[in-house]
A and B are shown apart, each in its own frame.
Chain A
Amino acid sequence: GNSVTQMEGPVTLSEEAFLTINCTYTATGYPSLFWYVQYPGEGLQLLLKATKADDKGSNKGFEATYRKETTSFHLEKGSVQVSDSAVYFCALSWTGANSKLTFGKGITLSVRP
């Protein structure tokens, strides 16, 4: 079946540090891939997405590239800010009548001033 694996957390970084959060998936074919962010006490918000191989999603300085050969969708940001502190979820989805998202377990990022 489909699954999403995220690196273990939590992650603590200093402001302006480089961020990488790993995400790999198991699926037959080519699903769409997403990164969601959850700020404290809130629901999830879409951060970025990619719908086919080699697509790069980007938003708010975050980027992720859909790598078919490594079945990965790692999230990166060149310089994190304190306001980036949140929980980050990787997810995949298919087109279809019964499509639903499969989420990774999420990883908590804390950024120190």
Chain B
Amino acid sequence: DGGITQSPKYLFRKEGQNVTLSCEQNLNHDAMYWYRQDPGQGLRLIYYSQIVNDFQKGDIAEGYSVSREKKESFPLTVTSAQKNPTAFYLCASRPQGTNSPLHFGNGTRLTVT
């Protein structure tokens, strides 16, 4: 079955450490997205990529980095520069340049202490 896989589901880190969240899709979608979800704030866009080896900052990119070396993969690194990293992170994808709906993974809940 096609879909988006995010791993792990729960992730715990100490403050000051970088951590990388995985996102893999086998839907052959060109565009991929990372969102952060916090209670009462909805979804906020961190980074997105329309094509391999290219990506753009979203609304809250500070303290995050991404790479897009393969079409199927769009990992997100939460760096120590991110002031409030504890959140639920959602990865999504869709065909490039269309109004097709986003397909979402099941998310990774990151807790930094």
CB within 8 Å of B: which residues of A? Answer: 32, 34, 36, 41-46, 49, 51, 89, 93-101, 103-106
Contacts and interface: CB of A to CB of B under 8 A. Distances in A.
B74 interface: no
A100 B97 CA distance: 9
B45 interface: yes
Given A96-B97, A99-B98, A100-B48, A106 B107 contact: no
Name the 6 nearest CB pairs between A and B, nearest first.
Answer: A43-B104, A105-B42, A32-B99, A46-B101, A103-B43, A44-B104
A97 B97 contact: yes
Given A42-B107, A44-B90, A103-B35, 9 more contacts: A32-B99, A34-B101, A43-B90, A44-B43, A95-B98, A96-B97, A103-B43, A105-B40, A105-B42
A99 B99 CA distance: 8
A41 B42 CA distance: 15
Given A100-B33, A100-B45, A104-B42, A44 B102 contact: yes
Contacts of A34: 101
